[in-house]
């Protein structure tokens, strides 16, 4: 959060980017995004620590139908049947994989499902708040971090995490400090790229693209993580998830290609009339 505030504020001072100055209407415009943002991080970290990496990746697929549902309810979007079938395939694969999980952890499953809800809500509300007439994509990132950096620090202090961090023995290790600062920068780049993807596409597309990327993590986790318990149903479920995600990507890219072609045809027609 501090890295986000620092990078965006310096960029604004140097007129590289623009977002609205603070006024009393900003909190109203942004709500409830900061609360969802923090809930997303806390539930994500809690679930990651309690589940194997492959199962965490599989259960995160439930973010996709939740995002689809929230886009229909909040943003009023409509999708063709082919998109619903692709989403259903992803969820079906997740059900098959999770149903055969031999390392069931109720607390971990609860946290990851909460994380799915927060992630879906975060994507949809961020898409809604990025209107250039309102906060814009940079304003959403900046004020989201500003409003939650102090409450998050207080939560960290009250749980003892802050004290653990300050007493960490490697703060004098140059390599560790370099990697820590690099992770802060990469965290900002991750959030910025997610916002850009949602800005130019949709919250659902951003979620599905992330899910496809995470499938590779699941396959790697089978070989490297050491905590994956193999079963045939679980492996089949992972592959169904992958197939559904690739199908969605194909449909989305084909739809964009058709839209571009129709736009070019309309422009050519107008030019010929002129």
**Which stretch of 62-66, 160-164, 255-259 has the lowest confidence by average pLDDT?**
255-259
**What's the distance, CA 28 to chain centroid?**
23
Q: Structural domain boundaries of the chain?
A: 23-159+173-255
Q: What is the mean pLDDT of residues 161-176?
A: 88
Report cis status (omega within 30 of 0) of the bond before 32: yes
Question: Which pLDDT score is estimated for 132?
Answer: 62
Q: pLDDT tens digits for 182-221?
A: 999 998 998 888 888 888 877 877 777 776 666 666 667 6
Q: Where is pLDDT greater, at 170 or 254?
A: 170
Confidence band (pLDDT; 50, 70, 90) for 176? very high
Quick check: 264 pLDDT over 50?
no
Q: pLDDT tens digits for 116-133?
A: 888 888 888 888 777 766
Confidence band (pLDDT; 50, 70, 90) for 21? confident
Q: What would you report as the CA-atom Rg of the chain, rounded to the nearest whole angstrom? A: 21
Question: Which pLDDT score is estimated for 218?
Answer: 65
* Best mean pLDDT range from 162-176, 224-238, 253-267: 162-176
Confidence band (pLDDT; 50, 70, 90) for 137? confident
Confidence band (pLDDT; 50, 70, 90) for 265? very low
pTM tops 0.75: no
Quick check: 263 pLDDT over 60?
no
Percentage of residues of the chain with pLDDT beyond 90: 8
CB 130 within 8 A of CB 199: yes
Q: pLDDT tens digits for 39-98?
A: 887 887 777 777 776 677 677 778 888 888 888 888 888 888 888 888 888 778 877 776
Quick one: three-class SS letters along the chain?
A: CHHHHHHHHHHHHCCCCCCCCCCCCHHHHHCCHHHHHHHHHHHHHHHHHHCCHHHHHHHHHHHHHHHHHHHHHHHCCCCCHHHHHHHHHHHHHHHHHHHCCCCCCHHHHHHHHHHHHHHHHHHHHHHHHCCCCCCHHHHHHHHHHHHHHHHHHHHHHHHCHHHHHHCCCCCCCHHHHHHHHHHHHHHHHHHHHHHHHHHHCCHHHHHHHHHHHHHHHHHHHHHHCCCCCCCHHHHHHHHHHHHHHHHHHHHHHHHHHHHHHHHHHHHHHHHHHC
Confidence band (pLDDT; 50, 70, 90) for 103? low
Q: Where is pLDDT greater, at 113 or 273?
A: 113
Q: Which residues neighbour 246 within 8 Å (Cβ) at sequence distance 6 or greater?
A: 212
């Amino acid at each position: 959060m501090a890295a986000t505030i620092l990078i965006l504020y310096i960029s604004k001072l140097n007129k590289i980017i623009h977002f609205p100055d603070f006024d009393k209407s900003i909190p109203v415009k942004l709500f409830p995004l900061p609360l969802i943002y923090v809930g997303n991080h806390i539930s994500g970290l809690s679930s990651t620590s309690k589940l194997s990496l492959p199962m965490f990746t599989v259960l995160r697929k439930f973010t996709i139908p939740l995002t689809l549902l929230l886009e229909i309810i909040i943003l009023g979007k409509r999708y063709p049947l082919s998109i619903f079938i692709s989403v259903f395939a992803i969820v079906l694969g997740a059900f098959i994989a999770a149903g055969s999980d031999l390392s069931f952890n109720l607390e971990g499953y609860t946290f990851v499902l909460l994380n799915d809800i927060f992630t879906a809500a975060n994507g949809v509300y961020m898409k809604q708040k990025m209107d250039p007439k309102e906060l814009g994509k940079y304003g959403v990132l900046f004020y989201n971090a500003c409003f939650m950096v102090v409450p998050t620090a207080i939560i960290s202090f009250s749980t003892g995490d802050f004290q653990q961090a300050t007493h960490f023995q490697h703060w004098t290790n140059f390599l560790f400090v370099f990697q820590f600062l690099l992770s802060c920068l990469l965290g900002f780049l991750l959030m910025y790229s997610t916002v850009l993807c949602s800005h130019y596409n949709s919250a659902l597309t951003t979620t599905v693209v992330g899910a496809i990327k995470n499938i590779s993590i699941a396959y790697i986790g089978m070989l490297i993580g050491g905590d994956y318990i193999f079963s045939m149903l679980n492996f089949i479920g992972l592959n169904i998830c992958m197939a559904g995600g690739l199908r969605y990507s194909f449909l989305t890219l084909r739809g964009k290609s058709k839209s571009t072609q129709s736009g070019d045809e309309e422009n050519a027609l107008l030019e010929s009339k002129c």
